Structure 1
Amino acid sequence: MIRKMGITWQLRMRMAEKNMFQTSDLVPLLAERGIHLSREQVFRLVTQTPQRLSMDTLAALCDILDCSPNDLIDINVVNAKIRKAGGGDASALPRVRRSTIRRPDLT
């Protein structure tokens, strides 16, 4: 079995601790640090867990919020385990049922 890892994105909580409640508050602060993102991109960054995040953006967020990456990202194990392909217990596999396709007689 493979353990599936997940993350919890804590940016909104860290912003609230610094009395920053508008996502647009981050736009000029990021720009001061050389990170130029649109308001929409910053909104998505705050409200959704990012799948990809540049190290420069992460460093800028840590500087703005006076925190470490560990304060922004909580790593956790997702309860659902994924079964590896191949091998393993054959009884756990679904049974194959053969079928016959019969075509209607066209005469």
Structure 2
Amino acid sequence: MVVKRMGIVWNLRRLRTERDMFQTTDLIPALAEHGVHLSREQVYRLVAQVPQRLSMDVLAVLCSILHVTPASLITVIESHVQVSKRGPDRGVAGRLGSWGRSRADAH
């Protein structure tokens, strides 16, 4: 069976460097000018990782700072993944296969 998986590419790092904002900390004063106060660590995570949750206010401010739209910041990637059909759920041991058994059980 083939299932559709959705993912995103977070383009903040690329867009930031295209605008000569090479240090993560370059975003801190720009964000603060728009009323968004994030710690150095929060800004680093915002740049370095794909955010799982992002407030609309922060998204709007990033778009304003970088002069882009949300579609420029976020690229949606669709992939199709082949998954095997399996019988009824056999619990953790069934999902783990031989990893779920002790050495004595495996022999």
TM-score, normalised to structure 2's length?
A: 0.74
* Higher normalized helix content (fraction of residues): 2
Q: Following TM superposition, where does structure 1 have runs of at least 4 consecutive aligned residues deviating by more than 4 angstroms?
A: none
- Cα deviations by residue, 1:84-104 (Å, 9 ceiling, x for unpaired): xxxxxxxx42598xxxxxxxx
What is the aligned-residue identity percentage? 51
C-alpha contact (below 8 Å) 1:11/1:46 kept by paired residues: yes
Bigger radius of gyration, 1 or 2? 1
Work out whether 1:78 is the aligned partner of 2:71. no
Residue of structure 1 in register with 2:20 after alignment: 19
Residue of structure 2 in register with 1:99 after alignment: none
The aligned length equals 88
Q: What CA distance in whole angstroms lies between the structure 1 residues aligned with 2:24 and 2:68?
A: 18
Aligned-partner SS, 2:80: strand
C-alpha contact (below 8 Å) 1:4/1:81 kept by paired residues: no
Q: What CA distance in whole angstroms lies between the structure 2 residues aligned with 1:93 and 1:81?
A: 13
| CA RMSD in angstroms, aligned pairs only | 2.0
TM-score, normalised to structure 1's length?
A: 0.74
Work out whether 1:93 is the aligned partner of 2:86. yes
- Consecutive unaligned residues in structure 2, runs of 5 or more: 91-107
